[in-house]
Amino acid sequence: MSDFLPANQDNILIVDDVLENLDLLSRILTRRGYSVRSVDRGDAAIIIAKTGWADLILLDIDMPEMDGYEVCRCLKEEETTSSIPVIFMSAFDEVLNKVNAFSVGGVDYITKPFQIKEVVARVKTHLQLRNLQKNLETQVASRTIELATALQEAKAANSVKNIFFSQMTHELRTPMNAILGFVQLMQRDSTLNREHQEQLRIISHSGEHLMALINDVLEVSKIEAGKLVVKRSNFDLHQMLKGVEEMLKIKAQAKNLDFVIQRSDRVPQYIQTDQQKLRQVLINLLANGVKFTHKGQVTLKIDYNQQIPHQISFQIEDTGGGIAPEEIENLFTPFYQTQTGRQSSSGTGLGLSICHNYVQQMGGEIKVKSVVNRGTTFSFNIQMEIGFPVIQLSETSRVIGLKPNQIIPRILVAEDRWENRQFLVRLLEIIGFEVKEATDGAQAISLWSSWSPNLILMDLQMPVLDGYEAIQHIKRVDSSVVIMAITASQFKEQKQFILSSGCDDLMNLPFLEEELWSKIAHHLKVEYIYETSIQNTVVQAEENGKNIESETLSLMSSEWVKQLNNYAIAANAKEIYTLLEQVPEEYSQMVEAIASLVDDFCFEQIIELTTL
């Protein structure tokens, strides 16, 4: 008999499709004075829990029809069952399984094969916590302030903080993917004037900056865990500075501030260091300068001392309100804000702390000098190597289609979010791929079975059946189909798990379309037509007598011409061919001419001819 008995008989519900586990756990816990019920299906467990019987649930993950994650989600969504503690028990020992278990509401995770003493100890602990919670709830009316403080302390001591970071960044990165994605689609519109194209480019740069800020949340956890690493790359420093200037100059002009970048002629154009971290430090410091300066200017000075060949220095000066001497000591402490910062009611107090850590990681030191009511100067240096010239691809090198005389790949897009799905489908169709879409894992499996796509772009978090299960099902039957996972996660451990789950590659949201084309070309061996080749194609079409006069199109209705214009703008060859089927046979010469332009990807010529 056990050396202890529960003060009050607690009710424990065991959910596992392996009968031996049910029998063993039931006997162990019953002998220790608990009241135990066992079921082998998730839906049965939910029914019992809704009656209010269960005080604690031991839940297996890998079960048929409804896995443990989905059972826990359903329990946490119901007000009557949301407070029941759920301890997951599984043979899975991957980091991601544990992260998923906590993210859906689990309070603990026990790996099979389990130790009896460990199970008993954890059950006892969580039931005691459950009873304490019930007692606290009865005192809410008289101890509201004390309870709120206790809850805040509990949250601060939460050992699964990284789970929150992962979920938060995922939810922020997903809509940003749609924003940046549709900006890329709009940039393909050749009818936009130069001013609008420039505005789209600034929106794109700003969106990328926002993504960098979102990633700050992850960086804080990496800094605290000592896992921050430098990712050295070779890049064009002058070009990067130009992008930073474009982003922040507009904000400065809106406040009637002068925004000046003074770059010494000695500064090398190409350097090797962590580009993302250097860019983020500059943006954070310059943005603060603009934010807290109301009159005068913000200046960035860059210099390179050839006597110290591996060091480059930066200095950010503003004419703002300055920082009090007593505040400078804590300036780089996480979450610390100066009095001016608190008055602005914006910011998290993380920016300067991250800057400090980034500069240290790049082998430098950051300093600050400030005079109240006169301004502030931040200065820092970093260690770097002289780089080599980078080939800059101009906008005219953009992929616009598939080269003729090759098999057109079929691509399935499985994504539950409409905006992300539409962006991908639209982008792929513009290039000329055959595309179908699925809104969940089950639908993806069905379309894969009936349509046999060459490549599947698979979101991992979907309803009905998630991407992990869909990938495993498909790969068990057909290992040759290429599956590329789509994820907003930035955790290295999760990326490793994703790749080990059966997919062939992964893309982080948001992504640039060049990355997508590169990965597709790598896996499917397709060849593209680039925008630089349009002009030669048009000339060749004209030389072959395949041109067409705009007057000829007057033979068709204005609505038909308008549709042709819209499809040409979208570079949708499939719909143009369908439209040409409506043309009477006596106009076959016109049909051949337009079809020839489509075959040669001369969509711009069709747009010009059909612009009313």
Residues 321-348 pLDDT 10s? 898 888 888 888 876 777 766 665 555 5
**Closest alpha carbon to 180 in 136, 146, 212:** 212
Q: What does the pLDDT read at residue 541?
A: 38
Mean pLDDT, the chain, rounded, equals: 81
Lowest mean pLDDT among 122-136, 157-171, 216-230, 508-522: 157-171
Residue with tokens 């214009």: 565
How far, CA to CA in Å, does 546 sit from each of 45, 362, 567, 578, 611? Answer: 70, 59, 19, 20, 19
Q: What's the CATH code, domain 11-156? A: 3.40.50.2300
Spatial separation of the C-alpha atoms in residues 163 and 168, rounded to whole Å: 9
- pLDDT cut 70: percent of the chain above it: 79
Spatial separation of the C-alpha atoms in residues 169 and 494, rounded to whole Å: 13
Which two structure tokens, joined as six digits, stand for 212? 């960098």
* More reliable by pLDDT, 324 or 155: 324
Query: What does the buried/exposed string (b/e) look like for 276-295 if buried means 16 or more CB atoms within 10 Å of the residue's CB?
Result: ebbbbbbbbbbbbbbbbbee
Q: What does the pLDDT read at residue 533?
A: 38
Most confidently modeled of 131-135, 327-331, 365-369, 554-558? 365-369
Query: What does the buried/exposed string (b/e) look like for 535-568 if buried means 16 or more CB atoms within 10 Å of the residue's CB?
Result: eebbeebeeeebebeeeebeebeeeebebbbebb
pLDDT of residue 494 exceeding 80, the answer is no
* More reliable by pLDDT, 233 or 540: 233
Query: What does the buried/exposed string (b/e) look like for 378-403 if buried means 16 or more CB atoms within 10 Å of the residue's CB?
Result: bbbbbebeebeeeeeeeeeebbbbbe
Q: What does the pLDDT read at residue 473?
A: 94
Spatial separation of the C-alpha atoms in residues 175 and 509, rounded to whole Å: 9
Lowest mean pLDDT among 103-117, 233-247, 318-332, 546-560: 546-560
Lowest mean pLDDT among 32-36, 402-406, 586-590: 586-590
525 burial via Cβ count (<10 Å: 0-12, 13-18, 19+): exposed
Residue at 506: amino acid letter: L
Which residue ranges make up each domain of the chain? 11-156, 229-386, 395-526, 531-610
DSSP 61-116: S--SSS-HHHHHHHHHHSTTTTTS-EEEEES---HHHHHHHHHTT-SEEEESSPPH
Which two structure tokens, joined as six digits, stand for 423? 């962006």
Q: What share of the chain is helix, strand, coil (3-state, %, to 5)?
A: 50, 15, 30
301 Cβ contact list (under 8 Å, min separation 6): 262, 263, 264, 314, 315, 316, 317
Express each pLDDT in 198-222 by its tens digit.
778 777 777 776 776 666 666 666 5
Spatial separation of the C-alpha atoms in residues 27 and 348, rounded to whole Å: 52
> Within 13 Å of residue 33, how many CA atoms lie on the same side as its CB?
12
How far, CA to CA in Å, does 417 sit from each of 186, 440, 487, 516? Answer: 20, 10, 12, 19
Q: What's the CATH code, domain 229-386? A: 3.30.565.10
Handedness of CA 522, 524, 527, 529 (dihedral sign): negative
What is the pLDDT confidence band of residue 544, given thresholds at 50, 70 and 90? very low
Could you give phi then psi for residue 274, rounded to 5 degrees? -85, 100
358 Cβ contact list (under 8 Å, min separation 6): 274, 277, 278, 280, 281
Count helices and strands in the chain by DSSP H and E runs: 23, 20
How far, CA to CA in Å, does 378 sit from each of 340, 355, 494, 507, 576? Answer: 17, 11, 37, 36, 58
Q: What does the pLDDT read at residue 331?
A: 85
Q: What does the pLDDT read at residue 7?
A: 46
Spatial separation of the C-alpha atoms in residues 257 and 252, rounded to whole Å: 5
Residue with tokens 């209010």: 52
Kindly compute the dihedral angle of the four CA atoms of residues 165, 168, 170, 175, in this order, to the nearest 10 degrees.
-150
pLDDT of residue 538 exceeding 70, the answer is no
**Closest alpha carbon to 170 in 103, 230, 71, 94:** 103
Q: Do domains 11-156 and 229-386 have the same CATH topology?
A: no
Q: What does the pLDDT read at residue 483?
A: 95
**Closest alpha carbon to 68 in 3, 21, 132:** 21
Q: What does the pLDDT read at residue 412?
A: 97
Which two structure tokens, joined as six digits, stand for 262? 């003074």
- Classify 301 as helix, strand or coil: strand
Q: What does the pLDDT read at residue 255?
A: 87
Q: Which pTM does this prediction carry?
A: 0.41
Q: Are strands 311-318 and 375-383 parallel, antiparallel or unpaired?
A: antiparallel
DSSP 502-553: T-SEEEESS--HHHHHHHHHHHH---EEEGGGHHHHHHHHHHTT----GGGG
Lowest mean pLDDT among 247-251, 372-376, 538-542: 538-542
145 burial via Cβ count (<10 Å: 0-12, 13-18, 19+): exposed
How far, CA to CA in Å, does 73 sit from each of 96, 101, 463? Answer: 17, 10, 11
Express each pLDDT in 358-373 by its tens digit.
999 899 999 999 999 8
DSSP state of 403: P
Spatial separation of the C-alpha atoms in residues 195 and 201, rounded to whole Å: 10
Q: What's the CATH code, domain 395-526? A: 3.40.50.2300
